């Protein structure tokens, strides 16, 4: 009997070695691209005020000049250098974004993981607190605070954004912790007498690292866009330079109507590039967490299996009987 073979291709993630498991996140092209762009803006935030060719507040007689050798990004209606404003304003954008992301992530981890692991009355109280902050709008609250505070600086804006944006991440971490607290390794640690906080730190938290990182990146994106929006509508202190402040002055002085595209295009491109970088990093984290989304970040292997029929040897039937599965002589005749 002929044996039929079929090649079946099965694609699944290769279990990485223990030392290389943490580096899988950096293998994807999207992740590396996002990190490089983000690193570029971080460097600008650090050295921007030092390498700015002019004082961003200094005025000159070169009014609304297009990009040139003296002013790479052109000048404003008062002769201020746009490149210097962009370089100096990068620091404020990143400070607000990362500070708000850090504070919101700390709050979401403390409240979400504690509620999911402790359960009972603690879970109900912390969940109610999360639900209250979940419905508090961030931008209107900042506008109200700005109307009562004379100096609405970056630190105050970052604090308010963090205070109103941690609740969603807390709910996600609570749900993940509820699915982890009854796992076998957690029960084993509890049976050996480990303390609650040691189990949370060394057994539960490592399995939430990717979720926490994704929440942090998402909060940073929201905080940066909120800071730029507040500066653009004039709520934040417009004496402190950031990309939103550049857009505020360009819009207030009708740069678009005057054809001064160089006044607002660089700031818009910087916002788009930074948002793209953070989004690419977030996509990389999603692919790292979910194996089904892995393309370049997770290696795959092809397993070929041979599937077919196993030949069965023909046996001699007892006298007067035909072998099973064979037609009798009368029928064959």
Domain enclosing residue 137, as ranges: 25-306
- Residue 118 resides in a domain: yes
Is 329 part of any domain? no
Tell me the pLDDT band of 313, cut-offs 50, 70 and 90. Answer: low
Q: What residues contact 284, with CB distance under 8 A and at least 6 apart? A: 25, 28, 30, 31, 34, 297
Cβ neighbours around 76 below 10 Å, total: 25
Residue 179 has pLDDT above 70, yes or no: yes
Distance CA 259, CA 64 (A): 9
The whole-model pTM stands at 0.76
**pLDDT category, 307, cuts 50, 70, 90?**
very low
Q: Is residue 16 part of a domain?
A: no
Query: Residue 226 contacts by C-beta under 8 Å, 6 or more apart in sequence?
Result: 138, 139, 142, 157, 161
Tokens of 205: 């938290």
6, part of any domain: no
Would you say residue 153 lies in a domain? yes
The CA–CA distances, whole Å, from 59 to 75, 85, 267 equal 9, 12, 19
Q: Say if 257 falls within a structural domain.
A: yes
CATH at residue 167:
1.10.3720.10
The reply to whether 130 falls in a domain is yes
Cα 152 to Cα 263: distance, rounded to the nearest angstrom: 25
DSSP 204: I
Cβ pair 91, 51 in contact under 8 A = no
Tell whether the torsion through CA atoms of 256, 52, 231 and 148 is positive or negative: negative
Phi, psi torsion values for 161, nearest 5 degrees: -65, -45
Lowest mean pLDDT among 5-9, 34-38, 225-229: 5-9
Residue 153 burial (C-beta neighbours within 10 Å; 0-12, 13-18, 19+) = middle
Confirm if 203 and 189 have CB atoms less than 8 A apart: yes
263 within domain boundaries: yes
In degrees to the nearest 10, what's the CA dihedral of 283, 287, 290, 292?
120
Number of folded domains that form the chain: 1
Quick one: pLDDT at residue 21? 47
DSSP state of 304: E
Greater confidence (152 vs 259) lies with 259
78-129 tens-digit pLDDT: 889 999 999 999 998 999 999 999 999 999 999 999 988 888 888 899 989 9
Question: pLDDT, tens digit, for every residue of 26-37?
Answer: 666 788 899 999
């Amino acid at each position: 009997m002929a044996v039929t073979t079929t090649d079946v291709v099965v694609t699944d993630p290769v279990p990485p070695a223990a030392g290389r498991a943490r580096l899988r996140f950096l293998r994807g092209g999207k992740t590396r691209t996002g990190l490089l762009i983000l690193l570029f803006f971080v460097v600008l935030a650090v050295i921007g005020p030092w390498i700015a060719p002019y004082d961003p507040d200094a005025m000159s007689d070169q009014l609304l000049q297009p990009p040139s050798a003296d002013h790479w990004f052109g000048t404003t209606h008062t002769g201020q250098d746009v490149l210097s404003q962009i370089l100096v304003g990068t620091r404020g954008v990143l400070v607000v974004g990362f500070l708000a992301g850090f504070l919101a992530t700390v709050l979401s981890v403390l409240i979400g993981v504690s509620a999911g692991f402790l359960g009972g009355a603690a879970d109900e109280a912390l969940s109610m607190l999360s639900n209250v902050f979940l419905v508090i709008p961030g931008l209107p609250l900042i506008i109200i605070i700005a109307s009562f505070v004379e100096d609405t600086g970056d630190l105050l804006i970052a604090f308010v954004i963090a205070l109103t944006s941690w609740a969603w991440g807390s709910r996600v971490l609570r749900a993940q912790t509820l699915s982890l607290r009854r796992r076998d390794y957690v029960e084993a640690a509890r049976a050996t007498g480990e303390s609650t906080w040691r189990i949370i730190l060394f057994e539960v938290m490592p399995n939430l690292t990717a979720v926490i990182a994704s929440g942090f990146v998402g909060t940073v994106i929201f905080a940066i866009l909120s800071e730029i929006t507040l500066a653009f509508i004039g709520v934040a202190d417009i004496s402190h330079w950031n990309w939103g402040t550049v857009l505020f002055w360009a819009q207030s002085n009708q740069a678009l109507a005057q054809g001064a595209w160089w006044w607002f295009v660089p700031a818009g491109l910087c916002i788009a590039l930074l948002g793209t970088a953070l989004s690419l990093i977030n996509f990389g984290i999603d692919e790292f967490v979910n194996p089904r989304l892995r393309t370049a970040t997770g290696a795959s292997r092809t397993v070929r299996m041979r599937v077919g029929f196993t030949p069965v040897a023909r046996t001699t039937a007892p006298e007067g009987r035909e072998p099973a599965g064979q037609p009798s002589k009368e029928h064959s005749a």
